[in-house]
Amino acid sequence: MNRKGLFGIALACTQTIVTPALPSPELPSPALALEEVIVTAQRRVQSLNDVAGAYSKRVALDEMGLLGLTHYEDALNQVPGALIQRGSGQESLVALRSPVLSGSGACGAFLMLENGFAIRPRGFCNINQMFEVNTRQAAAIEVLRGPGTSLHGAHALHGVINVIQPTVAALEGLRLGLTAGSYEHAVGTVAVGHGRSALQAYWRHDGGFREDASVKDGQLNLMHDQPWRTGTLEWRLNLSELDQNTAGFIQGFDAYRDPQLRRGNPNPEAFREADSARFSVRWQGGDCDGCEEEWRAIARHSSMVFRQHFLLGKPLESNGQRSLAASFSRRQPYHGSMGLNLQWGVEAEWALADLLQVQTGDTLEGSAVARGIRPAGRHYDYEVDIASLGLHLSADVERPQWMWRASVRFDHSRFDYNNKMGAGNTNEQGLPCDFGGCLYLRPADRTDTFTDLTPRIEVIRKLGAEGSAGAIYLVVSDAFRPPEVSELYRLQRGQSVDGIDSERMSGAELGWRFVHPALRGSLAIFDQRKRNLILRDANGLSVSGGESSHQGLEYELAWQMSESLKLRAAGSFARHRYEFDRLIGGAERIISGNDIDTAPRELHSLELSRRWGDRLLVLDLRQVGRYFADAENLRVYPGHTLLGLQWRQRLKDHVQLAVRLENLTDRRFADRADYAFGNWRYFPGRGRSAYLSLDWRLD
């Protein structure tokens, strides 16, 4: 599909630019590691040893200062407990201290941020929404694993992902770059900054390694900083556009190993077109010694049209949202001699979301029953007005070696649903289908409210003088997410809105961060349980009211072996299990105690780097353990191990050459494997791929 707009034309005019810098293997010295600042954990700058929680950060430390990612999986799959399964093009499914989640509410279990702002309103996320964020030119990606803090609120169940764009000051000067690679991959980037303003943008084309699977997408970031009162106003604008021809699942046992099938596309008609815009302003300052205030506001828009090639009848979906959010937070000392500090804040959000699903012709696939219950015409057509209010309060006591923090958050969400069609499971004309009625069920107009109270307790014991040797922490927390609007109002026959409530996650985590000469790392042990589980099974049916448990150990290690040789390792050992029994679609059964499907028990990554002056060589290895492909644990994907190689060299003072080889051994693997509708299906992974980048920077 081809789609043009003002944004595409504007980017085409600047299409020259930057080579992605490689994710840096640089390991800060122990002293620098202790001074690492964190935005994600408390939405304020602070020392890592003030954070009770498992925190990781992927950051580029070279002179270009950019992550330069082909896909954000390149960075996150090196984070303990994280698994990003790349679909076709820029699509993805996420696991973060969880199984890989799919379905309409999968994205709701993770809070996705850009510079600390949620990229979507509550109740209306999208599992592929990270393609709306400029991760290619980002300065860093922060990950907080496990339930978020009281400042995060909705959706921070399994973790928080925060993409940090470069500061205006960091973009001073001009940067241009060009990348070319396998499968007609080409990227042009530009970044320019002067004084208080900066711009960065890219435009990309990827031919895809499968038939009819090309992608064109672009991003534009505009930034302006303005002094105001005792702080700085930070204005940010992000625009994105995506035009993608989508490749669907290939089917059949071990189909991903077949050289013809893995390059084919059984759904050449599939496509996705999407655009987004976010405009935000942030001010941070203080009016007393030790006081911190922060004001935030953001306006968001997104729209998407795509072919649901994975459904019988292949209906077309159009969805969109317009939203506004604002927040205020203040932190101040309350009793100096006791070291007591209070932090409180309020957040408000409004959104108008819409969805239309239309099938243009009769259903031709499947049995007579399957065809008969999926008529042509409109299936869903609705709007939802979403309003929410959040309040948070926390108190912490600081001592030279200890910190105690207690916090609580109150949230109230209201969904006003307006159905633009006839209620019930009839066709568009209001006539019933044979075989017990049409598949798609539309509730009548209604209002639903959700109220959640989430407490959190943290204890930190710093080791060494002022934490110079690390810290031990304990956190007991609760987190929530309200249902997504599609889980509430996009129903199928036999289902009802009644009984669907907010998902809740409760658990405890014990962690140890250590810092020694040439060595630093962390260990985290967690035990979490999710209630009121809402999931979409592999056969497309919604399951609600379930429970799941999540236990595991995560590790991260950085070792400076010599002046030029460095080693980094990260990984997890975990079990994610169903804690309820249920018969689901296709006569498949969820059995309490079984592993949740697509939940590897082991994930590991290893990165070895060697530097010679201005030359850098990086060898990385990523391992995905075996996992079950169905809820009954009868079918297993064996897992895979991938090897990559990166080379970077400075040619002149301001010119850098980079070469990246992915899947060095040309391993045939599946990015995603599952068993549904009585058959194996896969998203095959790319074979050996090479990318050449040239970056030029002029300050």
How many angstroms from the chain centroid is the CA of residue 265?
Answer: 26
Per-chain mean pLDDT for the chain: 88
Q: Give 568's strand partners.
A: 558, 607
Among the listed residues 524, 522, 479, the one whose alpha carbon sits nearest the alpha carbon of residue 149: 479
Of the pLDDT bands very low, low, confident and very high (cuts 50, 70, 90), residue 23 is very low
User: If 0-12 CB within 10 Å is exposed, 13-18 middle and 19+ buried, where does residue 240 land?
Assistant: buried
The single-letter DSSP state of residue 246 is P
Region 343-352 average pLDDT? 96
The residue with tokens 């994105």 is 240
* Secondary structure (DSSP) of 495-519: --STT---EEEEEEEEEEEEEETTE
Structure tokens at 593: 């105690």
- Report residue 73: phi and psi, to 5°: -60, -30
* Secondary structure (DSSP) of 541-581: -EEEEEEEEEEEEEEEEEEE-SSSEEEEEEEEEEEEEE-S-
Residue 638: half-sphere exposure toward Cβ, Cα within 13 Å: 8
CB environment 56-92: b (16+ within 10 A), e (fewer): bbbbbebebbbbbbbbbbbbbbbbbbbbbbbbbbbbb
The 3-state DSSP class for residue 338 equals helix
- Report residue 317: phi and psi, to 5°: -115, 135
Give the span between the Cα atoms of 556 and 421, in whole angstroms: 53
Give the span between the Cα atoms of 102 and 14, in whole angstroms: 37
Portion of the chain with pLDDT greater than 70, in percent = 90
In a domain, 425, yes or no: yes
Structure tokens at 695: 């970056």
Range of the domain at 323: 6-246+259-698
Q: For the ranges 225-229, 465-469, 470-474, 562-566, which has the lowest average pLDDT?
A: 465-469
Report which listed range, 5-9, 27-31, 148-152, 572-576, is most confident.
Answer: 572-576
Handedness of CA 236, 67, 42, 98 (dihedral sign): positive
Predicted local distance difference test score (pLDDT) of residue 41? 55
The residue with tokens 């860093």 is 140
Among the listed residues 282, 356, 279, the one whose alpha carbon sits nearest the alpha carbon of residue 322: 279
The single-letter DSSP state of residue 485 is H
Whether 320 shows a pLDDT value over 60: the answer reads: yes
CATH number (domain holding residue 473): 2.40.170.20
In a domain, 1, yes or no: no
Give the span between the Cα atoms of 243 and 12, in whole angstroms: 15
How many angstroms from the chain centroid is the CA of residue 146?
Answer: 14
The 3-state DSSP class for residue 400 equals coil
Structure tokens at 410: 């109150």
List Cα–Cα distances, 617 to 63, 557, 607, 610, in angstroms. 16, 19, 10, 5
CB 64 within 8 A of CB 175: yes
Across 88-247, the runs of DSSP E, i.e. the strands, are: 92-96, 110-114, 117-118, 140-145, 159-164, 173-181, 185-194, 197-206, 215-228, 231-245
Query: What amino acid occupies position 349?
Result: E
Residue 86: half-sphere exposure toward Cβ, Cα within 13 Å: 17
The residue with tokens 């065809």 is 371
Tens digits of residue pLDDT in 636-657:
999 999 999 999 888 887 898 9
User: If 0-12 CB within 10 Å is exposed, 13-18 middle and 19+ buried, where does residue 125 land?
Assistant: buried
Tens digits of residue pLDDT in 128-178:
899 999 998 998 899 999 999 999 989 999 999 999 999 999 999 999 999
Of the pLDDT bands very low, low, confident and very high (cuts 50, 70, 90), residue 44 is low
The 3-state DSSP class for residue 619 equals strand
**Strand 110-114 and strand 159-164: pairing?**
parallel
Give the span between the Cα atoms of 67 and 60, in whole angstroms: 5
Please enumerate in sequence order all residues whose Cβ is within 8 A of that of 645, keeping only pairs 6 or more positions apart, or say none: 617, 618, 619, 620, 660, 661, 664
Predicted local distance difference test score (pLDDT) of residue 334? 82
Q: For the ranges 3-17, 299-313, 435-449, which has the lowest average pLDDT?
A: 3-17
Whether 377 shows a pLDDT value over 70: the answer reads: yes
In a domain, 252, yes or no: no
Of the pLDDT bands very low, low, confident and very high (cuts 50, 70, 90), residue 48 is confident
Predicted local distance difference test score (pLDDT) of residue 669? 96
The single-letter DSSP state of residue 337 is G
Predicted local distance difference test score (pLDDT) of residue 585? 63
Residues listed for the chain: 699
Of the pLDDT bands very low, low, confident and very high (cuts 50, 70, 90), residue 536 is low
Predicted local distance difference test score (pLDDT) of residue 61? 44
Of the pLDDT bands very low, low, confident and very high (cuts 50, 70, 90), residue 46 is low
Rounded (5°) CA angle 520-526-531: 150
The 3-state DSSP class for residue 143 equals strand
Region 475-487 average pLDDT? 94
Region 195-213 average pLDDT? 95
Give the span between the Cα atoms of 23 and 281, in whole angstroms: 29
Q: For the ranges 1-5, 85-89, 391-395, 695-699, which has the lowest average pLDDT?
A: 1-5
CB 227 within 8 A of CB 235: no
Query: What amino acid occupies position 342?
Result: L
Structure tokens at 267: 């759904």
Please enumerate in sequence order all residues whose Cβ is within 8 A of that of 553, keeping only pairs 6 or more positions apart, or say none: 523, 524, 525, 572, 573, 574
In a domain, 254, yes or no: no
Tens digits of residue pLDDT in 6-20:
334 333 333 332 223
CB 142 within 8 A of CB 55: yes
Predicted local distance difference test score (pLDDT) of residue 440? 93
Of the pLDDT bands very low, low, confident and very high (cuts 50, 70, 90), residue 587 is low
Structure tokens at 636: 């297993």
Q: For the ranges 180-189, 281-290, 516-525, 612-621, which has the lowest average pLDDT?
A: 281-290
Residue 36 vs residue 84, higher pLDDT: 84
In a domain, 474, yes or no: yes
Predicted local distance difference test score (pLDDT) of residue 676? 85
Of the pLDDT bands very low, low, confident and very high (cuts 50, 70, 90), residue 63 is very low
Q: How many domains would you assign to the chain? A: 1
Predicted local distance difference test score (pLDDT) of residue 30? 31
Portion of the chain with pLDDT greater than 90, in percent = 68
User: If 0-12 CB within 10 Å is exposed, 13-18 middle and 19+ buried, where does residue 167 land?
Assistant: middle
Q: Max CA-CA distance within the chain?
A: 77
Report which listed range, 13-22, 364-373, 571-580, is most confident.
Answer: 571-580
How many angstroms from the chain centroid is the CA of residue 191?
Answer: 24
List Cα–Cα distances, 359 to 74, 408, 538, 548, 574, in angstroms. 36, 46, 21, 35, 42
Among the listed residues 605, 596, 595, the one whose alpha carbon sits nearest the alpha carbon of residue 556: 605
Whether 43 shows a pLDDT value over 70: the answer reads: no
In a domain, 251, yes or no: no
Segments in 594-643 forming alpha helices (H): none
Tens digits of residue pLDDT in 498-523:
888 999 999 999 999 999 889 999 99
Whether 673 shows a pLDDT value over 50: the answer reads: yes
CB 264 within 8 A of CB 210: yes
The 3-state DSSP class for residue 625 equals coil
Whether 26 shows a pLDDT value over 60: the answer reads: no
In a domain, 663, yes or no: yes
